[in-house]
Structure 1
Amino acid sequence: MNNILQRLLIVIAAGLIMSSCHKIEVTPNSLYTEDVFPKTDAEFQSVLGTIYTSLRGHYSLAYWFAQELSSDEAILPVYGGNWFDGQGYIQLHRHDWNKDHGWITTVWNDANSIAGLCNQTMYIFKNAPEGESKNTAIAELKTLRAYAYWELLDMFGNVPLDTIYPSPGVQAKATRAEVYNFVVSELQTALPFLKTTTGSTTYGKVTAWMANALLAKIYLNAEVYAGTAKYNECIAACDAIISSGNFAVEPRVSYLSQFYPTNGPAFKEFIFAIPYDPSTDNGYLYHARYDLNRNLGIKYRYSGSTPGSYSFSQIILNQTTGNGLINARPSGPRATLSSFYNSYFRNDAGDIRKDQWLVGNQFWSDGSPMMVRTTKKGYDQFYTGADGGDAYTYQLYIDSVIRARQTLVSIDLGNDEIAWNMGIRNIKFLPDVNSSSRNQSNDAPIFRYSDILLMKAEAILRGGAATSGHTPLSLVNMVRSNRTTSTPWTSVTLDDLYAERAREFTWECWRRNDMIRFGKYENAYGFKSNADTYRRIFPIPTQAMNTNPKLVQNPGY
């Protein structure tokens, strides 16, 4: 990095420190001189990298837990006290979280920090030389800030709009409709200046297509956010992307590949994705750590696991040494509910999306059964026979049904082989065989072209005007024809579309958003029976309330 950028990043860091301490009386103008400002596109982009890095660290952890574990799509139980973590994961599943919930607090802090960093960077850029590079950089910043505020309005409803740097002080909450209008306005203002090129040069960066995708998502949810339907506006934003010709639905043969560690700009379906790299020190994709059954490390080469020179038929799992065997075990606490899997995946053998799930007897790649060695007591902690310490070998079986065998309140399954083998596992984001750590290089898509087609179909079904000869049925079949060998649908309802979105976007952080829009969020599922409607938005964290006395807690909390 050249000296100009080094000094500029030091200035940004200084601004972050001052902002976090609320020393609003400090005026940072004297820190800046003309030789600090970026001038070229590359220099602007280098500075913006700090914000993209913040988004990467946020998306795959706190944001994922808040969006997915509060839905019917994912659950993270307790295993003999392991992963209890103050009931944080279980509270999300049961819908009984409170204002001190750790992950909810982290999501709030993350999104506000991204917005704040955008404010500070725009302040620094204001005196940079005028030109296309500056206009594009500021448009990117406005879009990234709009994205952060979209997360906040989606998850927390009424939130403070803090868009000035240096900050004039803590702000009162704006209404959800006001935040919605701000986000829409920011995106519309930014769009003319955003890049329209696709491919490796803009991969993982804000473009006009990303801004239109975010607009489409916001318009589709406008009735939830602001009380007024905006389905025609959603369709127009979708059409801007469709008519560009820059994107396509991945064919059936490469649907799963687009989520693998080798994914990237070559896949035509990605509109905006977060790139991950296991060699970086900030922001990891940990899916294999959470999703793989603990006995599957060797098969999927988790964290450098290897069967050594064994043939698969000779491997007995739970051994950690011998003939080059390395058995790194993932944590494996995360699963899906059998009701979710059975509702959306069980009955269509020709749907490639079914292959993202692991359930039932497990086999090596050559068809040999995966055998696990333990003791009778190790297999079943409640075994009472005198021979509990005797060796016991069984074929690995992933049970679709999750049962609380210790305490129902904490959904504690126990701490034995039976417990750890409960719950269907997801390998959509396939483990990275080239990573020697738990970090993966799978890029995570936020917006995909299939979502654009399904959003347009939904908007028409909900009353929007059809365009370009598209119908909800034709749009849905554009996606399904690339996913399943089953015959095309001949009709489609909103419930059909809801189910199709479940199949298409599993593990991609859209389920909570979909459940609320379709009126399903209060349904009973798994161990959850709470039907409180106020939980469609999360509470303002206690930490934020203590910092900002102008905040008012969301209803119900």
Structure 2
Amino acid sequence: MKLNLYKSLLGSVIGVGMFSLNSCTDLSETIYSQIASEKYEFTENDASSMFAPVYSSLRDVYWAWYGYADLDICTDLWCIPLRIGVGWGDLYINLHKHDFHQELYHLSGLWSNAYAGINACNRLLADEAVQAAESSVAQLRAYRALYYYLLFDAFRNIPLDTQFEHEDGWQPEQATPQQMWDFIMGELEDVQELCGTESTMNELSNYAVRMIKAKMYLNHNAWFNDHSDDSYYKKCIDELNVIISSNKFSLAPAYSDNFKEDISDCSEIIFGIPFEYLYAGGNYFANLWMNEAGRATFGFTGWATGGGGALSQFLDTYDEDDTRFTDTWIGGPQVDQYGEPILVDGTRLDYTWNLRSIDNPGCYPMEGYRMVKYEIKEGDWGTSYDDVPFFRYADVLMMKAECLLRLGGYNGETEQDAADLVTRVRERAFKSTDPDKATRTVAQLKGGSVYKYGHYENIAKQDETDNWVTTEDGGNDIVLGGLLDDLAWEFVAEHHRRQDLIRFRMTNGQNVFNGKSWFCKDRKTDINDNHCDIFPIPKSAIDGNINLKQNEGY
């Protein structure tokens, strides 16, 4: 089905012979506005076929080298350390340690790819033929709002541009956070009933638009660092209830169903980004995580760097009966597809529980459990063709649970209803092991986290006696810490965690992102220092626009 979708899209683009898309990222020329409308009567299908740059830019934002998905490296779940004898992980040390600076490639890549998508939207919205197709205009405005949502989350103080044609020398002004919020929400509210009710890969439905709105409401107080108004949590629930009452979505029978190579038929997916080997590859999780010899475990044919590793502090938090652990991670001695031991220079390939250090001295090639959450098929290049479940129904239920707990109940629903929602999400992870463990109580969700926060680093080299440098932060002082744990187990490596850690706070008012240590990242002792909640604006953007002012603290 996925292959047919891409063939259809490609055929539509080629079939409109007067179009010339030389590059999905070359947006410098106004191609569509040059077409004489009297020579061709446009249809809604023709307008849809012109969306290739809009769609491809989102794939680039998410999974291009230095994409949005990599920003999970800033969190307490996994990292890419300096791999001794292999290298390359040094590119990610700054992200792990929260030593953010304006020349990080991850930031410039995210910035440029997102604005490429915005520019692609602006170009089509400026075309008179496209303007006549109401659903296409709605889709473009929704996509543009999605791009701005991602930029707003990452940088907050960003330029707002809604036009394609500009005077020579024009440069966009930097919008205030409130101006940007108002624009994004206004766009979403205008199109929330115009994008259709069918959820197809690539396209934003009315329900996907509601999800973006719900995310905006859920994170509002954290983004503006003002926790005095709980009404945004109520508005979040209102949006989520529209999705729930539609009866369009349901939890997939198995957790792993959400991470198959093709998720176009998965009942849980509200919005997915499709990837395809021939036309739109890019998801490189398997390649990032696997030791080169470890490819034999699955029989995949692509390159492998062995870079990624799970933080043992996070692995320690799993319940032994939670099947999401084995759905997500592999570790220990490895065998190939035929059950034979995998050897590396005569030594058994054995992924260890602990990582040594992010950079002092770094980690050896076999250290750390590896991620297998996204499907790896025999003969595939890795996970390059795996679709991305950008919004899924489990998130709807967990977001609603969070808001109910923060409000103490809303509109007739209680904190117990919140616990029931979390239990519902957990049930598939325990149904074959110990079903009773799926149940979460209000007290557990409102209690502290079981994560043993603190610096946890072994600075000894491989042949030396272990030399652990540790501190103890604990997790008991995290408000709704139990829920924060559940979010990690359900959504690890799904671009959620950074937002969650910034949104969840400790009893002293500091958020977890800044206030806790993990692995080699240390907490900020100044509880008022929250500049790392957003990233610095890339130097390339600052140099290219005299109207931009760098974010505070950088």
Same fold (TM over 0.5): yes
Q: Which residue of 2 aligns with 1:412?
A: 362
Residue among 231, 235, 238 paired with 1:236:
238
Counterpart contact for 2:286–2:376, Cα < 8 Å:
yes
Q: Which residue of 1 aligns with 2:440?
A: 489
Q: Which residue of 1 aligns with 2:343?
A: 372
CA distance in 2 between partners of 1:516 and 1:339 (Å): 19
CA distance in 2 between partners of 1:48 and 1:29 (Å): 11
Q: Which residue of 2 aligns with 1:351?
A: 323
Larger radius of gyration: 1
Pair 1:456-2:400 in alignment? yes
Residue among 284, 294, 297 paired with 1:296:
294
Q: Which residue of 2 aligns with 1:269?
A: 268
User: For each residue in 1:318-360, what CA deviation from the matched residue of structure 2 results, as whole angstroms up to 9, or x when unmatched?
Assistant: xxxxxxxxxx7621211111011112x2x33243344311122
Q: Which residue of 1 aligns with 2:154?
A: 155
Pair 1:246-2:248 in alignment? yes
Q: Which residue of 2 aligns with 1:500?
A: 486
CA distance in 2 between partners of 1:16 and 1:113 (Å): 7
The 5 A counterparts of 1:45-60 are: 45-60=48-63
Q: CA deviation at 1:512?
A: 0.5
Cα 1:528–1:6, aligned 2, differ >3 Å: closer, same or farther? Answer: farther
Q: Which residue of 1 aligns with 2:119?
A: 116
Counterpart contact for 2:142–2:187, Cα < 8 Å:
yes
The 5 A counterparts of 1:14-413 are: 16-18=27-29, 31-35=34-38, 39-61=42-64, 62-80=66-84, 82-84=86-88, 87-124=90-127, 126-128=128-130, 130=132, 134-168=133-167, 169-198=170-199, 202-226=200-224, 227=226, 228-229=229-230, 230-251=232-253, 254-261=254-261, 263-280=262-279, 282-303=280-301, 330-343=304-317, 345=318, 347-364=319-336, 368=339, 370-374=341-345, 393-404=346-357, 408=360, 412-413=362-363
Cα 1:12–1:373, aligned 2, differ >3 Å: closer, same or farther? Answer: closer
Q: CA deviation at 1:123?
A: 0.5
User: For each residue in 1:208-247, what CA deviation from the matched residue of structure 2 results, as whole angstroms up to 9, or x when unmatched?
Assistant: 1111111111110011234454011100110011000010
CA distance in 1 between partners of 2:32 and 2:56 (Å): 26
Cα 1:461–1:167, aligned 2, differ >3 Å: closer, same or farther? Answer: farther
Q: CA deviation at 1:66?
A: 4.2
Counterpart contact for 1:8–1:37, Cα < 8 Å:
no
Query: Which residue type is aligned with residue 218 of structure 1?
Result: M
Q: CA deviation at 1:36?
A: 6.9
Q: SS in structure 2 opposite 1:451?
A: helix
Q: CA deviation at 1:439?
A: 5.5
Counterpart contact for 1:12–1:121, Cα < 8 Å:
no
Residue among 498, 518, 525 paired with 1:525:
518
User: For each residue in 1:169-210, what CA deviation from the matched residue of structure 2 results, as whole angstroms up to 9, or x when unmatched?
Assistant: 212211112211211111110112111023xxx233111111
Counterpart contact for 1:351–1:486, Cα < 8 Å:
no
Counterpart contact for 1:453–1:475, Cα < 8 Å:
yes
TM-score w.r.t. length of structure 1: 0.81
Counterpart contact for 1:191–1:208, Cα < 8 Å:
yes
Query: Which residue type is aligned with residue 173 of structure 1?
Result: Q
Identity of aligned residues (%): 26
Q: Which residue of 1 aligns with 2:410?
A: 466
Cα 1:348–1:113, aligned 2, differ >3 Å: closer, same or farther? Answer: same
| Alignment coverage as a number of residue pairs | 483
CA distance in 2 between partners of 1:101 and 1:286 (Å): 20
Cα 1:121–1:37, aligned 2, differ >3 Å: closer, same or farther? Answer: farther
Pair 1:541-2:538 in alignment? yes
Counterpart contact for 2:257–2:263, Cα < 8 Å:
no
Cα 1:481–1:182, aligned 2, differ >3 Å: closer, same or farther? Answer: same
Counterpart contact for 1:215–1:234, Cα < 8 Å:
yes
Q: CA deviation at 1:167?
A: 3.0
Counterpart contact for 2:296–2:342, Cα < 8 Å:
no
Q: SS in structure 1 opposite 2:423?
A: helix
Q: Which residue of 2 aligns with 1:430?
A: 375
Computed over aligned residues only, the root mean square deviation of the Cα atoms, in angstroms, reads 2.6
